[in-house]
Amino acid sequence: MARKIGSNGERTAGAVRRAAIQLIARYGFAAVSMRQIAAEIGVQAGALYLYTPDKQSLLRDIMEDHLERLLAAWDAVAPSGASPEERLEAFVRFHVRYHIDRRDEVAIAYMELRNLTPENFRTIEAQRRAYEDILCDILRDGAAAGTFDVPEPRIATRGLIAMLTGVTTWFRRDGPLDIDEIAETYLAMARGAVGLRAPALA
């Protein structure tokens, strides 16, 4: 969806997006009205339609941008020429940190799939699948190399991603553990789940 060119419009466009993400993550797409989003940023409901053709497009754009950024962020840190074990470690640490940092978008991407039109769903689902395939390839390579014990890579992939993503439902910034400690705890579980022993120190 095209952005308008005016001066204040740029600011408002961003504000619309941020307010929509926050409100939809908290209350759900169907429960949030365009009026609520408008009120959150201090404009009237009609003004929102300068920045989105309709409510559905707002949801699709939020999810699409999130998944594009997620895939790009992994590409930027993905280790090349590393062993499956090293790639798994990098993926777990990346996933936990990224999903905590973008909790609202993550919650929307996971919970609001059913509020997409069929056409929009296909687009988003393909992106989600591309992300899933990153981990699945790591598991397959590790199984092929004999370092992982993973008889069903697709099931293991979904199990691990569900486990890791779950952190977004309970993590609090003021909790007893910081992000790195949590990531290491999840990493130890993920390593065990694919049949790797604890690293040397233990």
- Rounded Cα distance, 9 and 134, in Å: 38
Which residues does 62 contact at the CB level (< 8 Å), separation at least 6? 17, 20, 21, 24, 105, 108
Of 7, 146, 173, 178, the one binding DNA (CB under 7 A) is 7
Distances (CA, A) of 104 to 34, 74, 165: 18, 19, 12
Q: What is the largest CA-CA distance in the chain?
A: 61
The token pair at 146 is 């004999």
Site pattern 8..37 for DNA (x: CB under 7 A) = xx-xx-------------------xxxxx-
How many residues lie near DNA (CB under 7 A)?
A: 26
Helix (H) or strand (E) holding 16: helix 7-27
The site partner of 44 among DNA, a second copy, none (C-beta below 5 to 8 Å per kind) is DNA
The site partner of 160 among DNA, a second copy, none (C-beta below 5 to 8 Å per kind) is a second copy
DSSP 80: S
Question: Residue 59 Cβ, how far from DNA at the closest point, in Å?
Answer: 10
Of 11, 35, 101, 185, the one binding a second copy (CB under 8 A) is 185
Q: Which amino acid is at 69?
A: R
3-state DSSP percent of the chain in helix, strand and coil, to 5: 75, 0, 25
Of 22, 56, 123, 165, the one binding DNA (CB under 7 A) is 56
Of 12, 52, 115, 120, the one binding a second copy (CB under 8 A) is 115
Q: Which amino acid is at 23?
A: L
- Cβ-based nearer residue to DNA, 19 or 38: 38
Site pattern 132..171 for a second copy (x: CB under 8 A) = -----------------x-xx--xx-xxxxxxxxxx-xx-
Question: Residue 163 Cβ, how far from a second copy at the closest point, in Å?
Answer: 4
Helix (H) or strand (E) holding 126: helix 118-145
- Rounded Cα distance, 186 and 202, in Å: 16
The footprint of a second copy (CB under 8 A) covers 26-28, 30-31, 111, 114-115, 149, 151-152, 155-156, 158-167, 169-170, 177, 182, 185-186, 188-190, 192-195, 198, 202
The footprint of DNA (CB under 7 A) covers 4-9, 11-12, 32-36, 38, 42-47, 49-50, 53-56
